[in-house]
Chain A
Amino acid sequence: MSGNLTTALSRAAQYAFITGIALFIAIPMLVIAVFSFDANRFPTIPWGGFSLQWHEAVFADDMIRDAFVNSLVVGFGTAVIATILGFAAAYIDYRYVFRGKTLFGLLVAIPPAVPVSILGMAMLAFLSRIGLFGSVEAIVACHVAIATSFAMAIIRLRLGEFPRDLEPAAWNLGASPFATLLTVVLPFCKPALIASFFLSAAVSFDEFLIAWFVGGVNETLPVRILNLLQGQVNPKINAIGTIVLIISIALVLVAQRFVGVRAGKTSQSNT
């Protein structure tokens, strides 16, 4: 009947629509990856033949290597500190009620909402004023301020599933509040801690404006890319880009695996 036809058509249109969006999201990444192996200097059609030269050039480039190492160091440092601070903030939010709790929560949650250009500039001005500018540590410090927000959100989500009797049960069985934190709360939060670690690393690894503002001569990889991009189109960028994309995506996928964002509460499911 015509009803079925129009339903089928509208369904087809809907699927086509989201396929289009998926392509829209995927095309940039595919372009970078594919053309990093293109022998042509400028990525276009027709394809110039398969070549590994740009990847080789990237590995040979000292500045890029240094920037890469910086990115790893900064990323790792950020991940560790942000996870610790994020856990502390999440646990406090879960467990305690006190005056100023809303303000505390805001301080941790707001940073990602502030445009990075403004934040970068503010951090640069402030840090140079107190003499902390231009170091890898400074970049880590600023990245942590942002990544902690994500870490806290992830861990707080996990704590929302924490059976409320577990902590008092632990105290009741002889565990001091501190011992309880170590032996009960932390193990329970393990998946969230892992997810926070990887996501914080991804956030830091991807971040460029603050690193550019605050790092001075210490370039992280995205900053190096940014500087390269200011010049002409550089085929090395595709190669770096491929590597960066792979790392970024891997970090996010690992994080996501440990969080398990789920959608869907149908009337049939009983979660």
Chain B
Amino acid sequence: MSNTFVALENLDKRFAGHHAVKGINLDIKAGEFIALMGPSGCGKSTTLRLLAGLDEPTGGDIFIGGQSMRGIPAFQRDTPMVWQSLALFPFLSVVENVEFPLRMKKVGKIERRKRAMEWLERLGLGGMAERGISQLSGGQRQRVAIARSLVTQPPILLLDEPLSALDAHLRVRMQTELSRLHKELGITFIYVTHAQSEAFALADRIVLMADGMIQQIGRPQDVYREPANAFVAEFMGMNNIVRGGISGRSGDEVQIDGPLGRFIVLAKSNPRSRGIASFVIAADRVGLSEASAQDAVANRVNGSVIGIEFVGSTQTIFFDVNGQEFRVQKQQHEIDALDLTPGKRFALHWQPQHAWLLPEAA
């Protein structure tokens, strides 16, 4: 509570004809690395802009360091942002770009040059100080943007999909640098992204948004394994959702009957015992074996292969289970021995404790 550094209180933003942020609430601790995630149009970028003061809320408030941001214009907040387009000033040299915030704070010439150079050295750009922006590579420009945002020692850093313009291996390198910077500086980072891998790699907590509302807040692994609703389940991972109705419960074991059969789900944290329910079984927790007619074992369905998708060493196999698409993720070596021609039938099974009962009705 007292550790809360940034608080969004019923934050609401309406544009003409588009309700972008619908009264969200969020508490962010000092020094946390928060990832704002979600599909396009979910309101994450708008929220970031509201934090920076680049748009006015149409309702609610933002508190930074306990102070309300009402009436405080962007240039009076200390919420520097790393832009997706980098927004470096093309008519200034590298070091002049980094100096800019200090110049706006009326820091003296010598002092600001010194501090700017310190930051450039820190990020490995010491020799580039006098160069023009156009002479730098994408990764170098990225680092100039970061240096420029941090040169005033702000308590908070906003990042708007900063790595999306970089190619894959550069992105991973920059992720490591950002993570390192965060640990060294100990300040709050608020990071907008639509790439799950980035959020997982960097964030202490993930805030998943959709349609202007927060769907779930939590640690990456919690949001991944224990999604709050079907949307989160589908967005966060390779998950299969099975629908049905609760037909019984004994202790932590919940029995669900649905079009795909009868299943047992272990639901420690979910007390529900009646009604329509869905559960989630992650694709990487489904086992494959020969289809044989006689099993009536729970947590098992039969499906026929539709196709396979190769993503590096992980293979995703798509099954047709009674008309519903099921996804199974395996490592390449695990399926070498299997015959996965389309149409071939397999038994898909999992353990009850790996299924997750969704808190809300489907």
Asked if A and B form a direct contact in the complex, defined as CB atoms under 8 angstroms apart, the reply is yes
Measured between beta carbons, the chain B residues less than 8 angstroms from A170 are 75, 89, 100
Measured between beta carbons, the chain A residues less than 8 angstroms from B148 are 173
Could you tell me which residues of chain A, from 214 to 241, have a CB within 8 Å of some CB in chain B? Answer: none
The answer to whether A174 touches B104 (Cβ under 8 A) is: yes
CB distance from B173 to the nearest CB of A (A): 24
The answer to whether B104 touches A163 (Cβ under 8 A) is: no
Q: How large is the interface on B (under 10, 10 to 19, 20 to 34, 35 or more residues)?
A: 20 to 34
CB distance from A195 to the nearest CB of B (A): 16
A117 to B104, CA, bound (A): 50
CB distance from A165 to the nearest CB of B (A): 4
Binds B, one of A70-78, A131-139, A142-150, A182-190: A182-190
Give me 6 A-to-B residue pairs in the complex whose CB atoms sit less than 8 angstroms apart, sorted by A's number: A165-B83, A171-B73, A172-B54, A173-B100, A174-B101, A174-B105
Given contacts A169-B81, A190-B91, 12 further A-B contacts (CB under 8 A): A163-B87, A168-B87, A171-B54, A171-B75, A172-B52, A173-B148, A173-B149, A175-B75, A175-B100, A175-B104, A183-B103, A188-B89
Describe A's contact surface by its main secondary structure: helix
The answer to whether B89 touches A166 (Cβ under 8 A) is: yes
CB distance from A162 to the nearest CB of B (A): 10
The answer to whether B104 touches A166 (Cβ under 8 A) is: no
- B79 adjacent to chain A (CB < 8 Å): yes
Could you tell me which residues of chain B, from 139 to 164, have a CB within 8 Å of some CB in chain A? Answer: 148-149, 152
How many A residues, CB 8 Å from partner?
20
CB distance from A260 to the nearest CB of B (A): 15
Q: B residues bordering A, Cβ < 8 Å?
A: 52-54, 73-75, 79-81, 83, 85, 87, 89-92, 100-101, 103-105, 148-149, 152
Q: A residues bordering B, Cβ < 8 Å?
A: 163, 165-166, 168-177, 179-180, 183-184, 187-188, 190
CB distance from B206 to the nearest CB of A (A): 24
A19 to B100, CA, bound (A): 53
The answer to whether B90 touches A188 (Cβ under 8 A) is: yes
A168 to B84, CA, bound (A): 13
CB distance from A257 to the nearest CB of B (A): 18
The answer to whether A188 touches B83 (Cβ under 8 A) is: no
